Every structure is written in C-alpha cells, then in structure tokens.
Structure 1
Amino acid sequence: MAQRTSITSSALVRLLSSMGGPKAHARGGAFADGLSQWTGWTDAIALSAALERPGAAPPVAASDDAQARYAAQHAACEQLRSLLAQAIARETQAVGRSPLEAGLGFAAYRQCHVARQQAMELAIAPLRERVREALAACGPQQARLAAVDAVMAQALAPHERRLLGGLPGWLEKRSQRMAQQGVPETVLADTLRQELQALLLAELEHRLQPVEGLIAALRPSPTSPSP
C-alpha cells in the first residue's frame, strides 16, 4: 500500500492552511520537540519497554496466510473508510435544513461536527487494535511495532482529541467572519456545509493514517526469484 500522506502534508493540514486556519509546524526538530512535550516520563518508560521487548515471537505464518491477513485488514480499513465517509456526506448535507435546526444557528453545525468526530474515534480505535493484533502475530519486529503504536496512541490521544476538538470552534469563528462580511444567509449555510464536509473528510484521512501504516507493515515482502 502506498503511503497516502506524510505528517507535514496531510490533507487536514493543507485544507486548514488553504482556509486560513491554524498553521502546523511539524518538520525536523520542531516535530521532535513537540512530541517530547506531549509525552511524559511514564510514556517514555512505556515506550522504552516496548522498544526493548524480547525478540521471541510466535512462528511466522506461511506467506499465503500473511497475504490473507494483509488483505483482510486492508479490506476492513477501506470498508470503514467508505462507511464513515458516506455518513459524513449524508449528515453534513442535511444539517441546518430542518426548521428546528435553522433556528439553532451554528449550534446545529457544531453538533453535527462533534457527533461525526465521536463516531470516527469510536469506529477507528477498534480497527486499529485489531490491526495491531494481526501485526503482532507476524514476527518479532512486527510485534515490537504493534507495541510501540499502542504506547504512542495512548500517549498522544489526549492531545489529538484536544486539537481536533478545537475545529468546530474555529469553523464557527470563520462563519461569523463571513456573516460580518455580508455573505447572504443561504450562501453562508451552503458554504458551511461544504467546509464542514471537507474538514471531516480530511480528519477521517488523518485518523486513518496510523492504521494505514500498520497495515502497510502487514504486507508480505516479495520473495526473490530463485537463481
């Protein structure tokens, strides 16, 4: 599986930048420094233990089994991506259209935004755990990678939740600026639906990146032809 994006070129970062959103500086030492600020000493101990775990592991499965394991997890990820994307499109296009929601102003968009974020988090976490379990059964190196991912997910989850949780508020401020600029109400509502959908789809890709990385590690190495 080809890697879709890098940390510094994720769809979410590019979209926020194009919409005048908060800038993300994650290159080189800046990213490493930021990561060190997000992980405490207990996280460092857990990460060290994961990196130093023994090399012993269950016997590696045959190549056919490994390919089947990779294919199954890849298919599960793509199916979940499709289901979540469809739900995002459906909900964002419906928000604010009923008489009740029209009277709520931006609150209806905020509720939709938060609900979709929670749905993504609840759906993707179990998939990530299942991919870790599949990876851990492949060999010592893969088991170590799965352990490291588990530690990093736990350490970074509160910070990711805080940052992504700020997006609804940022979009509300953006809508207020457009209203102050005299954008007609119907145009503003359509723009909000489009931007909300774009933000949530970009966030979906962001949340799936760690899963895609684990699945890529599941792909069996091609065997070299015999001389």
Structure 2
Amino acid sequence: MTHYAAPCWYGKLPSAGDFVKRRFPDVLYRQWSSWFQVGLHHWQSSQEGDNAPSRPFLNAPVWNFVVPPMLGSQLIQMGCLIAARDSVGRNYPLCALRHFTPAEWSPALLARSGEWYQQVGNTLLRVVQGGGSPEQLDQALISIPQPQPPQETGEPSDILNVIGHGDTPSTLNWTLPGENFDPQFYTSFWWTNQSDGFPLYTQVHSGNFTAQLFSLLFDPAGGAKPGRNGLYPPMFES
C-alpha cells in the first residue's frame, strides 16, 4: 500500500467560534482562504441586487473537486467542499482535501477514488449538520481509507491500451474527471458529491479560482438565470 500525506482541512465549524485547520500547507491555505474571502464578499454584495443568490448559503450542495497545481504550488489536490458556519452563525466554507506531488500522482488514483469522495463528503455533511468538534472531524477524515492506485501486475499490453481495455474502471459518480483531468493543464473539475440528495451538477473551470466560480458552486440554481453559465442540466454527461 502506498502512503500519501494525511488529509488536511480548513474552514469553519458550527462547534467552533473561529477558523480551524489541520495540516493545511501554507501555500494552499493562502490560495483557498483568499478565494473564500473574495467569493463571500461577492456573495454578500450581490444579495440585494438583481443577481441575488436563489438559495441560502448553507443550502448549497457538497462538491467534489480535483485541482491541478496552482501558481506557487506543485501540489495536485482532490477533496470536498461544503458551505458551513461558525458557532455564532458566520457563513464560511469548509474544505477537506488530499494533496499529491506530480511524482505521486496517477490518473488511476483519481478514477478509483469514488468511495473516498463519498465518505469525505458525507463526513463533512454530518459535522456541519449534526455538530462535532474539530478533533472528531479530524479523526473521522484520517480514518477514511486513502485512495490507492491499482497494483502493478506486469507489463500492460500496448494493444489493450490502444483499444481502451487497459484502462482502470472509474468509480466516480462523474467519469469525465477520471478521463480528462491532466495536472499539466490549468483546468479543475467540480461535481456534486450527492451524499446530500442533490442530483449531479458539474463544472469545469480554467485558471485561478474566481468569484464567479464561487457563486456557481454555492448557488448552482442561480446558474440557470439568463446570461449566466447554467448548471441545469449537467454540463457533461457521465
């Protein structure tokens, strides 16, 4: 079994009065916290305008994601994102992820991570809706079996690879990330976890995280408004 870095997480919890995080690398913390700040500011400033969110922040879906290395980082990230709040009611996202170096990464690792995504998303959902201390959340995330690439069984057949039979079957609830994600390209994939009962919504985003991406994730119904990049129905078939 290959051992990767333990899962890290950052955000707010209903049981805590301020920000909490565990093992979140500084370079990733700066990127995610900056995006959360910009996204929340945009969200709050739009609440009274024509593009006001169509649903409360806390009613947003749980999202899965896989993100290529961003500026200043060489880490590939896969994890889950959920709308949360602190103990005094201030809204803020909660993010849990695993990160990998390019040397550790393999496309098969992502394709085989369906069960891992489901367990992480369900864990975040339980702690946001039902309560739980930072320590309880941390132990729950650590206890989830880490995704593993398939075991090497010998030299793959070139012919099987050409006709596709050598590919690893995907366990993801949306197969496109497993087929198309490439850490060398600046494109991230986002899709609903579905542990919360939401149908499958999908989003493919190029470049840095933006306020528009934040709004699309935390108000997917708003994406159906005229002039915006709608998510109903899913942008891609699974």
- TM-score by length of structure 1 reads 0.26
Flag the structure with higher helix content.
1
Larger relative CO (CA 8 A, sep 6+): 1 or 2? 1
Higher fraction of strand: 2
